[in-house]
Amino acid sequence: MATPLLAALLAAALLASPAAPAVSASGGTIVFTTLGRSRYEFDIFSLPLAPSPHNPAAEELRLTDGVSVNYNGNFAPASDSILFVSERNGSLNLYLSPVPSSRREALESASSSSATLSPLLPWEPIALKDRPSLTPDGSRLVYVSTAVPAAEPRSSWAAVYSTELSTGRTRRLTPLGVADFSPAVSPSGEWTAAASPGAAGWSGEVEDLRTDIYVFRTADGSRRSLAIRDGGWPSWADETTVFFHRRDSDGWYGVYRAEISVTGDGVEAASVERITPPGFHTFTPAASPGAPGLVAVATRRAGSDYRHIEVIDVSDDGKNAYFEVTRPVAPRVHHFNPFISPDGARVGYHRCRGRGNGDSPLLLENIKSPGSPDTFSLFRIDGSFPSFSHDGKKIAFVGLPGMYVVNPDGSGGRRKIFSGNAFSTSWDWKRNGVIYTSIGPDFASESTEVDVVAISLGDDDDETISMKKLTVGGENNAFPSPSPDGKWVVFRSGRSGNKNLYIIDAEDGEAGGIRRLTEGPWSDTMCNWSPDGEWIAFASDRHAPGSGSFAIYMVHPNGTGLRRVVHSGDGGRTNHPWFGPDSKSLVFTSDYAAVSAEPVSNPHHYQPYGEIFTVHIDGSNIRRLTHNSFEDGTPSWTPYLLEPRDVGETLQASGRCAFQDCHWLNIQDAAQPEELIYGKSC
């Protein structure tokens, strides 16, 4: 029997060292990052179309719950409800909520709506659901979904669907083999307009998708016609007038008005005119029959790092006058994707509900995945390059800059173990508390000084941290991954003038020996050693050196057996492979499913096409795990099954709005003075 003193010591030890999650033989946990998503805190708000100049902030109403991530709203026709996208409880769906009539009612309804609202669509299959509209009679919901895979790699799964709300009967309105974005239903409900690349598909754009606008019958997708060339984000003002945005040759986004007509062959544009001048960006227009002659737009004006909502009077007597809506209320907050109420009284938009900027608490967010919840978990982390320790008790990740370690259950908070810029993390299999990483600039040339280091953490009672540099010369040595026997580390290096793979001693680094694993005038990078020790997976452009196109390859540690596992296609990017616990599968990030939304409708994403996939190492059974319009990346896989109940409340805190607008909007017109350049902080 244990003595009281021994019992107390055992209890203290248990509190100091969190228990590891259970091991899952077939699934485990995948942890990944989504660029900026943990910081969004989006809610939908509205203001009068012409706010009071005296106290406009008092007139702003929050229309959603203040807890979930809510965006891309639309007022429901002929009702006092708002239709919107919401990410909650690990899944993404569409919801319909009453519109409050006052700030007090908004606060009261928001406190109860999060628990009582039911999604309009079943969450299976797990897919993106976006840009919703209701037909005028409220019977059918029109929206974008990624529910059905595209037939070809690097093709978008985004398509327009119509669901009958009373029965759940769903019809695809977009032809197979084609992608549609940003649908808008006409005031009569007879027609839907959508932006589409057409049969040509997506060619890798990460800024303006250069879509055309097609119009088709809302009932069944028939009579599909190319109505407007080179346009996106359509919005109907009436049954014959459509507003849309276009990025012109001068680099500026502008809003256009098209008058369309119905012919025997379909729908065509009778006239198209630009209503906004160059010199600043205007995009994502919104019109309403209830506000004739007015169109709401998002703008990025010279000298401002923020996008705001403005209203333009495009009537014959309005002379295209602009009226500010959001800047007087929240000048240093981004406002996205306006929409106007059916009666023309209010304009809605989404923005971050928080007002501050800065670091957020660590966030581990459980995401619904196609795997069984008993054997497989998927978590988003507010950080990059996460990895689990091999006892399952800790997670390392980087903040770009900074490197941190945290207990999965949130106990003890997050511990900063390095303040400089580090990228990639991987734990030693045999030596407790040893983490390999690379320190120096990321996305750099072969000759840039970057080195592989081993960071050794002390025991739970020892805060000592030591660092040992394992590489010599600093020619972009990065992405270290240790062998499961604890003897070796594979990494990429640019020491030959090209980025190839090398293997060094795990403890002594290059001083203990170095061996070149791959050789060629290409880039081999992002390597990961399999748990059984048999394979090293890596990303490479060896099929098209210098093209920027990457595929995933595997090779034995002795240099034999090289083969390609998965590639999304010419120009495609498939990166960051990580082996599953059984060494028979890989998780990776890729543009395999192309883009799912117009990039300008979101905050900045370097690669607004990244999703998380798994694949068997023979290249079969490619499986999409995430569905969103953001950039998912840097996944890792542990055999430990982390469940939502295992994550402490301290890890569930929301972000703090620290994200930027699209970097490619930061252009300067040659005629403007230098001090008016956009994006001084970007």
Mean pLDDT confidence for 67-76: 94
Confidence of residue 677 (pLDDT cuts 50, 70, 90): very low
CATH of the domain at 387: 2.120.10.30
72/195 Cα distance (integer angstroms): 16
Considering only CA atoms, which of 143, 147, 93 is closest in space to residue 122? 93
Three-point CA angle 289, 291, 295, nearest 5°: 100
Looking at the structure, tell me whether residues 320 and 375 fall in a common domain.
no
Helices (H) and strands (E) in the chain — how many of each? 2, 49
Tell me if 157 is assigned to some domain: yes
Looking at the structure, tell me whether residues 315 and 458 fall in a common domain.
no
220/217 Cα distance (integer angstroms): 6
DSSP assignment letter at 663: G
Looking at the structure, tell me whether residues 378 and 314 fall in a common domain.
no
pLDDT score, position 5: 32
Looking at the structure, tell me whether residues 277 and 199 fall in a common domain.
yes
527/540 Cα distance (integer angstroms): 10
Mean pLDDT confidence for 205-223: 95
DSSP assignment letter at 18: P
H or E segment to which residue 9 belongs = helix 4-16
Asked if 71 and 336 count as a contact pair (C-beta separation under 8 A), the reply is yes
Considering only CA atoms, which of 285, 292, 287 is closest in space to residue 309? 285
Tell me if 673 is assigned to some domain: no
349, pLDDT greater than 70: yes
Range of the domain at 620: 360-651
pLDDT score, position 19: 58
Looking at the structure, tell me whether residues 230 and 248 fall in a common domain.
yes
Per the model's pLDDT, the better-predicted residue between 358 and 108 turns out to be 108
Residue 266, φ and ψ in degrees, nearest 5: 150, -140
Number of domains in the chain: 2
Considering only CA atoms, which of 250, 228, 132, 242 is closest in space to residue 187? 242
Which residues, 6+ apart, have CB-to-CB distance to 220 below 8 Å? 171, 173
Task: Write out pLDDT tens, residues 547-581.
Answer: 999 999 999 999 999 999 999 988 899 999 999 99
659/606 Cα distance (integer angstroms): 12
Tell me if 176 is assigned to some domain: yes
222/246 Cα distance (integer angstroms): 26
Tell me if 16 is assigned to some domain: no
3-state SS of 521-572 is: CCEEEEEEECCCCCCEEEEECCCCCCCCCEEEEEECCCCCCCEEEECCCCCC
Looking at the structure, tell me whether residues 532 and 436 fall in a common domain.
yes
For the chain, how long is the longest CA-to-CA vector? 92
pLDDT score, position 673: 36
Looking at the structure, tell me whether residues 348 and 374 fall in a common domain.
no
Mean pLDDT confidence for 444-448: 84
Tell me if 680 is assigned to some domain: no
pLDDT score, position 2: 38
Q: Cis (ω within 30 of 0) for the bond into 125?
A: yes
Confidence of residue 368 (pLDDT cuts 50, 70, 90): confident
Looking at the structure, tell me whether residues 479 and 418 fall in a common domain.
yes
Tell me if 515 is assigned to some domain: yes
pLDDT score, position 4: 37
Looking at the structure, tell me whether residues 232 and 370 fall in a common domain.
no
- Kindly state the tokens that stand for 303: 């000298």
45/306 Cα distance (integer angstroms): 17
Asked if 357 and 657 count as a contact pair (C-beta separation under 8 A), the reply is yes
The lowest-confidence range among 29-33, 512-516, 647-651 is 647-651
Which residues, 6+ apart, have CB-to-CB distance to 377 below 8 Å? 27, 28, 29, 30, 366, 369, 371, 641, 642, 643
3 state SS of 146: coil
Looking at the structure, tell me whether residues 559 and 513 fall in a common domain.
yes
Tell me if 659 is assigned to some domain: no
Looking at the structure, tell me whether residues 574 and 513 fall in a common domain.
yes
Asked if 312 and 682 count as a contact pair (C-beta separation under 8 A), the reply is no
Looking at the structure, tell me whether residues 330 and 401 fall in a common domain.
no
Distance of CA 581 to the CA centre of its chain: 26
- Kindly state the tokens that stand for 170: 């769903």
